[in-house]
Chain A
Amino acid sequence: NPIYDKKATTTAELKINRLNVVRGPCTGKTEIYMLCDKVQKDDIEIIFSKDDWEAKAEFAQTDVHRQIAIVFKTPPFREQNVTEEVEVSVCLRRMSDRMDSEPVKFTYVPDNADPYGVNRK
């Protein structure tokens, strides 16, 4: 049996602790600060998913702060013309062993090009 070093970032469990924003437009590009357990900046992805849809959040290695925080931008949702809020899952994924963290929730809201509801009236 392999012995895992629980403290090593290559094998430790991934965990999302906190997000500063949990809602954003379905067009993406919402900036989010994530606090997490230790990750390696060159071996980590943030995956948004719902059913069979998956997309990667956008960030550079310099957006990974001291292994415990990541500042990223949300990917656009699969559909850009949603009319109701859609709840999706967000998780950390270690690329080397395809290990995922437990997911947290993020809500895509319709991108309202008509903020005052003029067209609806």
Chain B
Amino acid sequence: NPIYDSKSPNASNLKISRMDKTSGSVLGGEEVFLLCDKVQKDDIDIRFYEEEDDGGWEAFGDFSPTDVHKQYAIVFKTPAYRCTDITRPVTVFLQLRRKKGGDSSEPKQFTYIPHNQDKEEVQRKRMK
């Protein structure tokens, strides 16, 4: 049996502590600040997904290693949802996942907002 160094970022558990946003446009591209337990900047993915009997969907948050701050925070952009013409909000999951080994964190929820509804919201904000 392998012996893991629990202090090493390779072996310690992945965990999302806090995010500044838990919803955003179905088109993606929204900047999110995510606070987490220790990660390695070149061995981490932010995976958005839905699990369904027919296979489901996955897409990845967009960031570079320089967006990983001191191993404990990541600034990334959300991926677009698989279908951008939804008419009602859709809630999916996201998790941290190591590229090597594939172990992952407990998921958090993220809600995609329809594009049209989003446009109206922007319009409303512009009028302020």
Q: Write the residues of chain A forming the contact surface with B, with a CB cutoff of 8 angstroms.
A: 17-18, 20, 31, 33, 35, 37-38, 65-69, 71, 112, 115-117
Residues of chain B lying within 8 A (CB to CB) of residue A33: 20, 33, 35
Residue numbers in A under 8 Å from B70 (CB-CB): 35, 37-38, 66, 68
Interface range on chain B (Cβ under 8 Å from partner): 10 to 19
Select one of B31, B35, B38, B128 contacting A69, CB under 8 A. B35
Asked if B128 and A115 sit within 8 Å, CB to CB, the answer is yes
CB-contact partner of B33 in A35, A115, A116, under 8 A? A35
B17 close to A65 (CB less than 8 A): yes
CA–CA, A116 to B124, complex, Å?
9
Contact partner, A115, options B37, B38, B75, B127, Cβ 8 Å: B127
Interface pairs (6), CB distance under 8 Å: A33-B33, A33-B35, A68-B73, A71-B18, A71-B35, A115-B127
A interface SS class? loop
Contacts of B33 in A (CB 8 A): 20, 33, 35, 69
Contact, CB under 8 Å: A18 / B20: no
Contact: A65 with B73, CB < 8 Å? yes
List residues of B (105-128) whose CB comes within 8 Å of A's CBs. 127-128
Closest to B67 in A: A18
Q: How far is the CA of A5 from the CA of B72 in the complex (A)?
A: 23
In the complex, whether B82 has a CB less than 8 A from a CB of chain A is no
- CA A35 – CA B75 in complex, angstroms? 10
New contact pairs (13) apart from A35-B75, A68-B69, A71-B35, CB-CB < 8 Å: A20-B31, A20-B33, A20-B75, A33-B20, A65-B18, A65-B35, A66-B37, A66-B38, A68-B73, A71-B20, A115-B128, A116-B128, A117-B127
With both chains docked as a complex, state the minimum distance between the C-beta of A105 and any C-beta of chain B, in angstroms: 18
CB-defined contacts of A38 to chain B, threshold 8 Å: 70
Of all chain B residues, the one with the shortest Cβ separation from A19 is B33
In chain B, what residue has the closest Cβ to A21? B20
Q: Of A18, A112, A117, which one neighbours B69 at CB under 8 angstroms?
A: A18
Q: Is the CB of A69 within 8 A of B127?
A: no
Pick from A20, A33, A38, A71 the residue with the most CB of B within 10 Å: A33
Distance between Cα atoms of A67 and B38 in the complex (Å): 12
Q: Is the CB of B127 within 8 A of A35?
A: no
